[in-house]
């Protein structure tokens, strides 16, 4: 497939922080993807969750399965729009590397703990992971990824933080747009988590098909499936409905984005950066997607059972932070060394890197005397 002239091109990459010899078998974006897959932070995503804590069930999505689903959607959209698939895949696989244990509850708790020390935001932490915290190579810290992948990882950023990030934060100050590959990966992320949260929410029993039938996008696709398969059992009924929802969102995103590109006629990536974001849903589908997000926020993410688990998770994170901050001698050696430079950030790095079950074990070791005499 011939790339569109405004697609990101690895041969024209802005480059890496540390110069390296090009690979003879892989383009620069492929190389970045491979480094991400082999990183420690990527493996940890298997035991980090978004809504349901890891021990609550084996079939619920984790950050790892979510990242793979995002990568699959992003590559398909990129191919349709003649954009660079390897770049979209690398961004998709790396976008959650900085997430804390216990999903958004863990992030919110850690941000509260860090409020007087610069705060905590998972996009910034993902960038920190690939730029500093991964220790795999002799000549540099981090993964030394290309600018284009690093840019795509940073989905949003405050002006204050952007000023500290150098080249990769510049677009937030200048109010320019990232590559189309970065833009579409953000939408693939949203499509993936909205629709797999429906699946997980129904499996858990926290939401029902009757409730979802009041959401236009779900109701429309459910009606289509029932008309075609009137006797289908619920499991397959839900699966057929969700896959049609995903298809509707992806097709609309591709069609509307192609119209936007056609309207503005960008000639190169520099034009893309000067233009407003071009990867978008049509207004009708955007409104339906928003209503779906609002439904999930009200009925799933704020369900009392999720709130109970989130409260426990937040308490674990807060108590771990307080214990390590008060006594950095409790930290592993490599974090103790950095704690001498920036104690709060060293503690945050350690906690953010934990999986759900590791955080629970660390909490027990620190606060449950009987089990560890």
Write down the pLDDT at residue 59.
46
33 and 157 in a single domain? The answer is yes
Structural domain includes residue 140: yes
202 and 346 in a single domain? The answer is no
Structural domain includes residue 5: no
119 and 256 in a single domain? The answer is yes
| Angstrom distance (rounded) from CA 68 to CA 65 | 5
CATH number, domain with residue 25 = 1.10.3210.10
Structural domain includes residue 3: no
Question: What burial class does residue 332 get, using C-beta atoms within 10 Å of its C-beta: 0-12 exposed, 13-18 middle, 19+ buried?
Answer: exposed
295 and 317 in a single domain? The answer is no
Of 285, 306, 327, which residue is a domain's last?
Answer: 306
Write down the pLDDT at residue 58.
47
**What Rg do the C-alpha atoms of the chain give, in angstroms?**
22
Structural domain includes residue 235: yes
Write down the pLDDT at residue 203.
86
Structural domain includes residue 34: yes
| Angstrom distance (rounded) from CA 132 to CA 146 | 14
185 and 300 in a single domain? The answer is yes
DSSP helix/strand/coil, 93 = helix
Structural domain includes residue 59: yes
107 and 49 in a single domain? The answer is yes
pLDDT along the chain (373 residues), means of 10: 94 95 96 98 90 51 92 98 98 96 93 96 94 95 97 90 90 95 97 91 91 96 96 94 97 98 97 98 97 94 89 96 97 93 97 95 88 53
Of 306, 329, 349, which residue is a domain's last?
Answer: 306
| Angstrom distance (rounded) from CA 338 to CA 353 | 15
Find the domain containing 325 and state its range: 307-372
315 and 211 in a single domain? The answer is no
Structural domain includes residue 1: no
Q: How many domains does the chain have?
A: 2
146 and 228 in a single domain? The answer is yes
Residue pLDDT, tens place only, 276-288: 999 999 999 999 9
Name the residue with tokens 């405050």: 158
368 and 258 in a single domain? The answer is no
161 and 274 in a single domain? The answer is yes
DSSP helix/strand/coil, 41 = helix
**How many other C-beta atoms are found inside a 10 Å radius of the C-beta of residue 210?**
7
Write down the pLDDT at residue 51.
64
Structural domain includes residue 148: yes
Residue 8 DSSP code: -
71 and 164 in a single domain? The answer is yes
241 and 347 in a single domain? The answer is no
Of 286, 278, 205, 219, nearest to 252 by C-alpha is 286
Name the residue with tokens 């029932």: 226
């Amino acid at each position: 497939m011939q790339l569109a002239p405004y697609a990101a091109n690895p041969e024209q990459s802005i480059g890496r922080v540390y110069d390296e010899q090009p690979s003879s078998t892989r383009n620069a974006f492929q190389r970045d993807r491979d480094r991400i897959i082999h990183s420690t932070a990527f493996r940890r995503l298997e035991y980090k969750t978004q809504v349901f804590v890891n021990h609550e069930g084996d079939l619920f999505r984790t950050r790892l399965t979510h990242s793979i689903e995002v990568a699959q959607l992003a590559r398909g959209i990129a191919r349709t729009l003649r954009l660079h698939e390897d770049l979209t895949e690398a961004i998709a696989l790396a976008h959650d590397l900085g997430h804390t244990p216990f999903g958004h509850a863990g992030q919110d708790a850690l941000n509260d703990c860090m409020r007087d020390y610069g705060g905590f935001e998972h996009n910034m932490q993902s960038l920190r992971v690939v730029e500093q915290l991964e220790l795999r190579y002799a000549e540099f810290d981090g993964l030394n990824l290309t600018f284009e992948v690093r840019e795509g990882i940073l989905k949003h950023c405050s002006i204050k933080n952007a000023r500290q990030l150098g080249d990769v934060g510049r677009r937030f100050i200048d109010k320019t747009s990232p590559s189309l590959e970065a833009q579409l990966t953000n939408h693939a992320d949203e499509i993936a988590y909205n629709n797999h949260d429906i699946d997980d929410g129904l499996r858990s029993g926290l939401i029902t098909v009757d409730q979802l039938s009041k959401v236009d996008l779900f109701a429309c696709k459910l009606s289509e499936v029932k008309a075609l398969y009137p006797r289908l059992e619920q499991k397959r009924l839900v699966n057929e409905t969700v896959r049609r929802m995903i298809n509707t969102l992806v097709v609309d995103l591709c069609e509307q984005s192609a119209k936007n590109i056609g309207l503005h006629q960008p000639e190169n990536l520099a034009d893309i950066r000067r233009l407003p974001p071009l990867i978008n849903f049509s207004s009708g589908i955007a409104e339906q997607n928003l209503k779906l997000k609002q439904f999930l926020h009200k009925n799933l993410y704020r369900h009392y059972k999720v709130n109970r688990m989130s409260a426990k998770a937040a308490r674990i994170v807060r108590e771990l932070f307080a214990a390590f901050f008060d006594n950095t001698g409790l930290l592993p050696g490599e974090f103790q060394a950095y704690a001498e430079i920036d104690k709060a950030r060293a503690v945050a790095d350690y906690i953010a890197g934990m999986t759900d079950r590791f955080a629970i074990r660390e909490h027990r070791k620190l606060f449950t005397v009987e089990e560890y005499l």
